[in-house]
Every structure is written in C-alpha cells, then in structure tokens.
Chains A and B, each alone.
Chain A
C-alpha cells in the first residue's frame, strides 16, 4: 500500500509543480505577446514546412558535448549508492573518470566548441557561420 502511495504522491507532486510554477509565473511576468513568441519552440528551427531541411550542423557538436555530461551522470548515481562502502576506492575511481571527461571538456573548450559562434583558428569569429539572428 505504501508503495502505491509513494507513486501517487510522486504523480500528484509532478502535476502540481507544473501547475503552480506556471500560475505563479503568470501572476508576475509581463505580457507582451508577439508573432515569434507564438511559434512552437523547436530550438530555432522552422516547425512547419518540408521535413527535408538542412538543420544547423552545430547541433551535432552540442549533442556530442551533451554525451560528456550525460555519461557522467549515468555513473554518478550508482557511485553514490556504494560510496559509503568503499569511500577511498570510490573516490579515486570517480576522480579518474571525471578527470577523463574533463580532458574531453577541456579539448572542446580550447577549440571553441562551447561557443555558438565559433572563432576560427586565427581567433576571429567565423564569418560564414550564420546565427539565427542574422538569418531573420
């Protein structure tokens, strides 16, 4: 019985969280509707039209970077479970693992993969990389 109660509380809490935060936001935020705001949000890509559009290749890099942090989280949960049993080994294990991911992160940072407008090797901004603002 208590198991079911937990699930019910989780579902109710989830629904309430969305309702409450949206309502509170509605009470405080200014209302300035516009055409752009009315569009469906899809990361700046056109939402209506043909399916065969070339979408921005930079999303690919974002997806790759996401994996760095995603993999980290996947290991962190089981790690937290067993941490008390072998604190020392677990600490160094994770330190090594996170260290490896940090190397990848540093690599991406160093070569500007974290910037949406990427600098060229020379250091100035990439001219032919069009930001969504320029396209409009």
Chain B
C-alpha cells in the first residue's frame, strides 16, 4: 500500500477514525454534545478529503476496492447524507433516551459500510460493506428501545436483512463456483453459463431487498414507521443510494444489459415498484408509512437510469439521487423536528394547520414534498427531467408511461399532506404541541431547502460536477 493508495482511501479511513474517536470519547466521558460534534466534524473532514483526493483517481486497492471518480461522487453524497442525519439526530435524540452517545459510533460505521459498497470492485467487498451497514442499522432502528414499534421494526429488519444477505452470499458463491473469482467483470462472462446467471438472480434478491423494490418491499413501511425519523431518512437515502451505485457499476462492468431476459426482469420490477409504491401510498394516513411507500416508487423511477444508455443514464441517476437525498432527508427531518418525546409525529392529523403554528417547518416540508412530486423550481424536477430524457433516448416507453402514471398518482397524496399543512388549524388544542426546534436541526433543514431550491433554479453547477465525476468510465 502506497501513500497514494492511502490518500485515495482517506474518506474511508477518516470515517472509520470518526467512529473510533467517538468511542474513545464516550469511554472517557458521556456527553451528548461532544459525541455529536466529534461525529459531525469527522464526517465533514471525510467529505473534505474527497475533494483533496481528486488527483490520484482511479486507483485499485488490492482486488477489493476501486476509488474512481464515480466512487468519489457517491462517497461524497453518502457522507453528506450521513452528516445531515447526524445533525438532525442531535436535536431528535436530545428529547429522547438517556443514552445518546453510542448512536454516534454506529452512524459513522454504517456510513463506512455504505462507502465500502460504493467503492467495491469485488463481490467480497460488497458483501462486507452490506453486512457492516445492516448490523449498524439493526441497532440504530431499535435505538430508542421505548415503544413496541421500534423493536418490531428492528426484528423485522434483522430477519429480512439476514435472509436477503443469505441470498446475496449464495449468489456470490455461485458466481465464484462458475468463474473462480469474485472480482467484477470481465463483461459478458456471466451470461454464458446458467450457474452464473442463477448467481446473478440471487444477488438481485439481496440488492432488491436493500433497495426495497417491489417483490422485496414488505419490510419498508413497518421499518420506517418504527425507526427514529432520522434513521428512517438514513435508510431511505444513504443505504439505498449506496446499493444503487453498486448496482449501476455491477451491471455495466458485467455488461448484463446485453441479455434481454435481465432487461425484462428489471423493467417488470421497475414498473411494479412505481405503481405499487404510489398506489399503496395513496391510502396512508401515517406520514412515515406514506414516505416509505413513496420511496419504493422513487427507486422504481431510478431503475430507468439503470436501464438507459450509460451516457445519459449515469448522470440522470446521479442527479435524481442527489435530489432524492435532499428531499427525503428534509421530509424525515421535519417529521423528526415535530416529534414528541413519546412518539414520532407520523399521523396526518399532527400536520393539520402546521403552516400557522410552525411556518418554517411547514415551508420546508412543502418544498420537500413538491420536490418529491417533481414539480418545477425544485431539484426533484431537474432529476425527473433527466430521467425522462435518458428513458426517451433509450426508448423505454413502457417504463416512461409507468413513470408518468406513477407521478400523477403521487401528486395526489403529496398534495393531501400539503393541504393538511395549510388547512385552518383546529380550534381545539393541536394534536401535537411541539417543543422548539434546536438550532442544529434548523440549520440542517435550511441547508437542505436552500440546496433543493438552488439546484431547481440553477442546476448547471451540479450538472457540470456530475458530468465530470459520475459519468467517467471504469
């Protein structure tokens, strides 16, 4: 390992060091503020190190990892998402539980798992990252240990993640049996033998579970409802984004889209996810469950970028994911900021007349929902537009019609929540008399809103960055 390798690995090293530093600090003294600041500072340093590593990419580090501009872009997205989650968690945890500090050990470790997934050039590294991410999430989901919902969500996630990991490991084993190596590529090899094809199908189950695509989506609403709001945001964004980036890399290094069967399989999954996610969200009165179902639909949309040609699909995926990160984290951030010590603000009734009681939070949530719905002036619009462009250029008409249909349905339930926000407040005491928002939460939400509107109004800088980083061939 050379100094340049180390420089390329710096984001991973710094994030790991963050977890260790927080652990040492917690061993010495239990202070919530100290742990949260250390965690946030470490993640920020890791983000800064990505920029510094610009010169030395792409590098292969042993056979396991590859640090190229694609990996760096998604690493930045993951670390920024984790940083926002850490900041949002500070205000959220302050009102809950007397043990805050271990949370800030688990969060950077989950981020490391996601980084390993994004940088992996080998199925072994992918499985390693997947396990690290999952194990941290089990504990984070059940972190409050107060309600039955938390434990139910954690146990559900534990069992289903275990089962899906078993599929992924079995798939990797089949691929290894076929070709004697776990490294990605060379292209086309996988399609030649039925054993490897079965392996890829099993891998798809593992990936589909983490992405909550339609036949593997049943855990999503329960886990989002039971998990603390910032962690629900983390699962919706960081965990999914990492696995999606891996899927993008794997599909194109192995050139799997040369096979018509795989295209049809992915098309069916994508269309089913868009329609089922949106239709199931329609009837939800629980905001967290609604966001969960809508996240299923959003990953369905993203699959269009996976199936489209690489030159347009890859930038579209990066833009859409960035917009989705901002809007999802913002929406879950508002849910967390409104939440009571005893329960999360997840009932639709909690939001009735919010615009008159908490104008800032209502405005933030409005921006996030409009972006999720893909309306103009928000980042979500830019994302959806580039998805449609990439789909049109590859003539994915079936998926595009599903996208249009899904978007129309989704506007209905987003508007339903928006209408509740601006309804006249009930004359009686509001269902939730919220405590004041702590300033770190306000700052994080403000950042997300500004970024969301800035990208919506003036997307050129982001598009330039993505053209430079997320499209590079490997």
Chain A contact residues, CB within 8 Å of chain B: 100, 103-104, 106-107, 110, 121
Contact = CB atoms under 8 A, between A and B. Distances in A.
B27 interface: yes
Nearest to A99: B20
A103 B98 contact: no
A57 to B, nearest CB: 12
The secondary-structure label for the interface of chain A is: helix
B431 to A, nearest CB: 34
Contacts of B24: 103
B23 interface: yes
Contacts of B20: 100, 103
Contacts of A107: 23, 26-27
A69 B89 CA distance: 32
Contacts, number: 12
A106 B20 CA distance: 12
12 contacts: A100-B20, A103-B20, A103-B23, A103-B24, A103-B27, A104-B23, A106-B27, A107-B23, A107-B26, A107-B27, A110-B27, A121-B98
Given A107-B23, A107-B27, 7 more contacts: A100-B20, A103-B23, A103-B27, A104-B23, A106-B27, A107-B26, A121-B98
A110 B23 CA distance: 12
B3 to A, nearest CB: 15
A37 B27 CA distance: 40
Contacts of A104: 23
Most buried by A among B20, B23, B27, B98: B27
A98 to B, nearest CB: 13
Interface in B9-47: 20, 23-24, 26-27
B455 to A, nearest CB: 40
A103 B27 CA distance: 8
B21 to A, nearest CB: 10
A104 B26 CA distance: 11
A86 B24 CA distance: 30
Contacts of A121: 98
Contacts of B23: 103-104, 107
A84 B20 CA distance: 30
B39 to A, nearest CB: 16
Contacts of A106: 27
A9 to B, nearest CB: 37
Contacts of A103: 20, 23-24, 27
A114 to B, nearest CB: 13
Nearest to A111: B27
A47 B23 CA distance: 39
B329 to A, nearest CB: 30
